[in-house]
Amino acid sequence: MHPGASSSRPRAGLTAERLTLAAAELADEVGFEKLTIAALARHFGVRDASLYSHLRNARDLRVRVAALALTELADRAAAALAGRAGRDALAAFADAYRDYAKQHPGRYAAAQLELDPETDTVAADAARRHAELTRSILRGYRLAEPAQTDAVRMLHSTFHGYVSLERAGGFRHHPRPVDDSWARTVDAVDTALRHWPAQ
Q: Quick check: 24 and 39 in contact, CB under 8 A?
A: no
Nearest to 125 by CA among 77, 80, 74, 82: 74
151 touches which of its own copies, DNA, none (CB within 5 to 8 A by kind)?
Answer: its own copies
CA distance 40 to 14: 11
Q: Quick check: 74 and 66 in contact, CB under 8 A?
A: no
Site for its own copies (CB under 8 A): how many residues?
Answer: 48
Q: Give the single-character DSSP code of 115.
A: P
CA distance 109 to 63: 11
Contact pick of 8, 53, 114, 118 for its own copies (by CB under 8 A) = 114
* Residue 55 or 127 with smaller CB distance to its own copies: 127
Contact pick of 48, 99, 132, 187 for DNA (by CB under 7 A) = 48
154 touches which of DNA, its own copies, none (CB within 5 to 8 A by kind)?
Answer: its own copies
CA distance 119 to 126: 14
- Nearest approach in angstroms of CB 18 to its own copies is 27
2 touches which of its own copies, DNA, none (CB within 5 to 8 A by kind)?
Answer: none
| Contacts to its own copies by CB under 8 A | 112-115, 117, 127-128, 131, 146-147, 149-151, 153-154, 156-162, 164-165, 167-174, 176, 180-181, 184-185, 187-193, 195-197, 199
